Amino acid sequence: MFNLSAIKLLIIIFVVVIFLGPDKLPEAAQKVGRFWSLFRSWQRRLESEVREVIPNLPSSDSLGKYVRKPSSILDQLADKSNATTDEGPEFVERPKPPASNRPATDSHSDPGLN
């Protein structure tokens, strides 16, 4: 999640132990644990409310992947688009616009433009 190496984690733990002391460390760990638990329950509650409003929303893991690599959602949408076009005709002819009543003019042959 934070991409910390083992050495960096050991340094952080060492600084925290020195700063808090061994007697206050369990109490601080409990507070951090309670905060993390409250945060996770708030996150689950918020996600469930959002999913009630937007039922087709991708999972949180998928959204995280899309944030890290936005091109992946475009690839997925392109794949869905290709799947739907493969089911139908390969080429759809568009209707031609109605013919104009004006005669076609050639700008090179019009003496007024030269």
pLDDT tens sequence across 53-105: 888 877 777 777 777 787 877 787 788 877 765 555 555 566 666 666 665 55
Predicted local confidence at residue 73, as pLDDT:
74
Query: pTM (2 decimals)?
Result: 0.44
Enter the tokens of residue 56.
């087709």
Distance from C-alpha of 65 to C-alpha of 43, rounded to nearest angstrom: 18
If one compares 100 and 13, the residue with the highest pLDDT of the two is 13
The amino acid present at 87, given as its one-letter code, is E
Shortest CA distance to 61 belongs to which of 17, 3, 1? 1
Dihedral sign, CA of 74, 72, 75, 71? positive
Q: What share of the chain is helix, strand, coil (3-state, %, to 5)?
A: 65, 0, 35
Query: Residue ranges per domain, the chain?
Result: 1-54, 58-85
